[in-house]
Amino acid sequence: MFLFILLFLVGCGTGSDDSSSSENESDGSTKDKWVVGTDATYAPMEYMDSEGNIVGIDIDLVEAIAEELGKEVEFKNIGWEPLFPAVDNGEVDFAVSSITITDDRKESFDFTDPYYVANQVILVSEDSSIKSKDDLVGKRASVQINTTGHQVLKDLMGATSADIVASETMPIAIEELLNGNVEASVGDNSTVNEYIKNNPNVNVKLIEDNSFEKEYYGLMVKKGNSELVEELNKGIQAIKDSGKLKEITGFDVE
């Protein structure tokens, strides 16, 4: 009888612990601190300053949302390609990294409301004859791998085209142009414009083609985590209403 009672009590204790553990699982919305992943190679949106800090427009945006919602935030410089599995496996609560909201990505991840508008541009040497994206056909062009710019080149040249040089980061893609390995580099306007601003002596020019579609950045969250998406959207709306979003990004997103 004593052994029976002992086993009964142990069994009850185990069931109680499991229930408590399940109830304490967090979706990120109830956390006091968010861990946020990024690829800090995309100035001015996210990059490393001279002291090794992760800074940029995207970083300021998340910090403003966190302040509005009373959260602490820690940023992790994970890199572009590893960023997606890091969100999916819960290594980070969400990602901010100039991530364009696309139908393809929405199949695997959830996104907040958009907070930034961008478009693709073309960077070429000053003496280049390239005037539009159609002129890229038959020429070698560099781009950051698995970005919307990469998809633009695939649609234009073919998914398996040997003329597409897919680089790990946008700075490396631009280096391919400067080193003469490609005739053009395609990337988001914010990043390419920032490069030109910071390198006024480099002999390059910017090509803007109105046929490039507008792209909308959002915060990327694990699929199904609607509670966190809802909370982040509240934060985005709050800093939009206060004027902080426009102060950070330079404009409001309708």
pLDDT of residue 26: 53
Position 127 pLDDT exceeds 60: yes
Handedness of CA 85, 75, 121, 216 (dihedral sign): positive
Distance CA(222)–CA(110), nearest Å, equals 6
Distance CA(238)–CA(69), nearest Å, equals 9
Position 13 pLDDT exceeds 50: no
* Token couple for 125: 């040497």
- Look up the CATH superfamily of 33-117+215-249: Periplasmic binding protein-like II (3.40.190.10)
Q: Are 33-117+215-249 and 120-207 the same fold in CATH?
A: yes
Report the chain's mean pLDDT, rounded to a whole number.
Answer: 91
- pLDDT-derived band at 14 (thresholds 50, 70, 90) equals very low
Q: Which of 2-16, 35-49, 86-100, 148-162 has the lowest mean pLDDT?
A: 2-16
Rounded to whole angstroms, what are the CA distances from 157 to 10, 117, 135, 137, 233? 66, 25, 11, 6, 37
pTM of the predicted protein model? 0.84
- CATH architecture of the domain 120-207 equals 3-Layer(aba) Sandwich (3.40)
The domain limits of the chain are: 33-117+215-249, 120-207
